[in-house]
Amino acid sequence: MKTLRIALPALLVLLLAAAAAAPKPDGGYVVDPAWPRKPAEYKWADMTGIAVDRQDRVWIYTRSQPVVQIYAEDGTFLKAWTDVEHKSAHYMKFDPEGNVWLADNGLHTVRKFSPEGKLLMTLGTPGQPGEDESHFKQPTDMTVTPAGNIFVTDGYGNSRVVHFDKTGKFVKAWGKKGKGPGEFDLPHGIVADSKGRLYVADRSNVRVQVFDQEGKFLEKWENILVPWCLWITPKDEIWTCGSTPPPPGAGTAMTGIPPHDQVIVKFDTSGKVLFRWAPAKGADGQEKPGETNWVHTVAPDSRGNLYAGDIRGKRAQKFVWKE
């Protein structure tokens, strides 16, 4: 008994320390069911891309028309791009100058637009898949560094990252299909941090891989979730969404498809989990407000609100943090 009386305080200290170091508990976010006030004539489809700009305006990228729509934080519809050629919208990002980048895996292109919707640059050859300096095969995402370097995850058909300079000139590519360091099985999203390190959502390998800009493998974060999107904040907080790793033996043609649950995670740049949340998964065609169904994209604003887009749910939602 004497040993037990000594051990209990020590055990309590360890438990308290572990609790303090753990991520915030599940929950805390509640849906804003009034967001957004979408024009009645607009019909959303797969909601593949959401991006929040410096003014906290929310941009959505959907497989419908208008393919690009912009809403205010309070849900007010602001404007839309009605004349953008598209085939299969995927992800949307901003570069440091505020230009808008769209990855279209159906057109096999990554395109740069002004904030007003003027086409400024096209990478890849529209409608022509391939694997060389001027062709992609179903690219998924892109990121642009402060120096203007462009990195593209060439993702569904190929298994590589492609680097271009700020003028769109090809620099190099790296990666092939596989499970080893620097290899990929569906590189599905990419971001760069303030130090220039690149983070790639290696979706079907159930990991995030980290590289320098020369393509040197630095580390990997494994078996935390099946990562779909990546979004990075000015504070170098890395958000991702997807599902928890599938149970052993639950192999499908594509890992995590269909997802058995939904999860949203925030990391720091070392791979430490800062926050984990599991929103309820909605049933196909019966999704309730606050549920997600094949959550494909997530982005926070400067106030801590979280915006998420679904594939099966075919909608964008706003979540507000409640203590």
Instruction: Give, in order, the Cα–Cα distances in Å from 90 to each of 9, 11, 80, 106, 108.
Output: 53, 49, 17, 9, 11
User: Which pLDDT band, with edges at 50, 70 and 90, does 323 fall under?
Assistant: confident
Q: What is the CATH classification number for the domain harbouring 310?
A: 2.120.10.30
Domain for residue 43, yes or no? yes
- Percent of the chain past pLDDT 70, that is, above it, reads 90
| Nearest partner of 317 among 118, 32, 97, 40, judged by Cα | 32
Place of tokens 């006030």: 37
Digit-coded pLDDT (tens) for 158-200: 999 999 999 999 999 999 999 999 999 999 999 999 999 999 9
Contact 184, 205 (CB under 8 A): yes
Structural domain boundaries enclosing 92: 26-321
Domain for residue 34, yes or no? yes
Residues 6+ apart with CB under 8 A from 139: 90, 103, 104, 105, 108, 109, 110, 124, 152, 153, 154, 155, 156
Digit-coded pLDDT (tens) for 31-84: 999 999 999 999 899 999 999 999 999 999 999 999 999 999 999 999 999 999
Domain for residue 12, yes or no? no
Domain for residue 93, yes or no? yes
Among 8-22, 24-38, 227-241, the least confident range: 8-22
CA dist 261 and 112 (Å) reads: 34
Domain for residue 15, yes or no? no
Instruction: Report the SS3 class of residue 50.
Output: strand
Domain for residue 122, yes or no? yes
Domain for residue 127, yes or no? yes
Domain for residue 21, yes or no? no
Place of tokens 């159906």: 106
Domains in the chain, number = 1
Token pair listed for 211? 């590289």
C-beta neighbour count of 248 within 10 angstroms: 6
